[in-house]
């Protein structure tokens, strides 16, 4: 395995980003954050990439932020510390708002910033023995990067129960909270990831991308003052695409769509 903090592999339409510091339980340092930022930027511009998978090398997904490096930040000049925090926050925001679907596969532990990466993904698969925690307060730290994502997934009060205590929780509880979608046996995690990413990649590229945007656009949020005209126009605009015509025709002809 290479010495790069992030391993990047491409298989057809799926780009797999693997946190690659297994000897440090994939603790996230500045180099790993920078590598993630660069890889996501390149994937966003590559039309051939339809899905991004996020995994961790070795026994654990990620132990979170590298505390050895973080200790250096405690006494670093303010601008240096700010740059590090902005980089980390930017990666989590970029991943959450990424224009293409993202799928995380979690084994072992996903702690702190590692759990933040998981929370930023659209779909999460986990081994049944996986463990999670956001225990920054136990270290006297402020979980400002993880808390908004956790609250968005589990709700403010539910997230607060774990953020304020720092208590860990297992994969079953993670699924109950909405942090994890599917639980699988540890030895079946890779196969489950392949099946999930292939299923997503089989959808219409534009339709999948539009659906991802839908989930974050406030105009789509169900409300009394829903903008029905705008929503109807969006539906009709997508109906008029060649992709929609091909998808419907393929279904009626009982064949696999041939996406452009």
Out of 4, 42, 45, 136, the active site residue is 136
What are the tokens at 230?
A: 């705008």
Catalytic annotation present for 136: yes
Contact indicator for 53, 15 with CB cutoff of 8 Å: yes
Using CA of residue 64, residue 168, residue 108, residue 106, what is the dihedral sign? negative
d(CA 192, CA 194): 5
Kindly report the number of other CB atoms within 10 A of residue 253's CB atom.
9
φ, ψ (nearest 5 deg) of residue 236: -65, -40
Structure-token match 């029905």, residue found: 228
Annotated catalytic sites, by residue? 136
């Amino acid at each position: 395995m290479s010495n790069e903090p992030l391993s990047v592999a491409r298989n057809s339409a799926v780009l797999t980003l693997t946190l690659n510091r297994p000897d440090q339980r994939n603790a996230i340092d500045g180099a790993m954050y920078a590598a993630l930022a660069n890889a996501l930027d390149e994937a966003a511009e590559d039309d051939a990439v339809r899905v991004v998978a996020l995994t961790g090398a070795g026994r654990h997904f990620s132990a979170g932020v590298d505390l050895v490096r973080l200790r250096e930040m405690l006494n670093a000049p303010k601008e240096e510390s700010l740059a590090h925090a902005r980089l980390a926050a930017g990666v989590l925001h970029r991943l959450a708002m990424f224009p293409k679907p993202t799928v995380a596969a979690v084994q072992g532990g996903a702690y702190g910033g590692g759990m933040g990466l998981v929370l930023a993904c659209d779909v999460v698969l986990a081994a049944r023995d996986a463990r999670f925690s956001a225990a920054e307060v136990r270290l006297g730290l402020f979980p400002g990067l993880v808390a908004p994502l956790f609250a968005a997934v589990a709700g403010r009060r539910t997230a607060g129960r774990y953020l304020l205590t720092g208590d860990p929780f297992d994969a079953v509880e993670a699924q109950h909270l909405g942090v994890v979608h599917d639980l699988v046996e540890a030895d079946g995690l890779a196969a489950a990831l392949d099946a999930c990413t292939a299923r997503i990649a089989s959808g219409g590229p534009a339709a999948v991308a539009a659906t991802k945007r839908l989930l974050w656009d406030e105009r789509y949020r169900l409300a009394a003052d829903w903008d029905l005209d705008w929503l109807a126009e969006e539906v009709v605009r997508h109906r008029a695409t060649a992709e929609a015509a091909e998808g419907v025709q393929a279904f009626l002809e009982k064949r696999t769509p041939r996406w452009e």
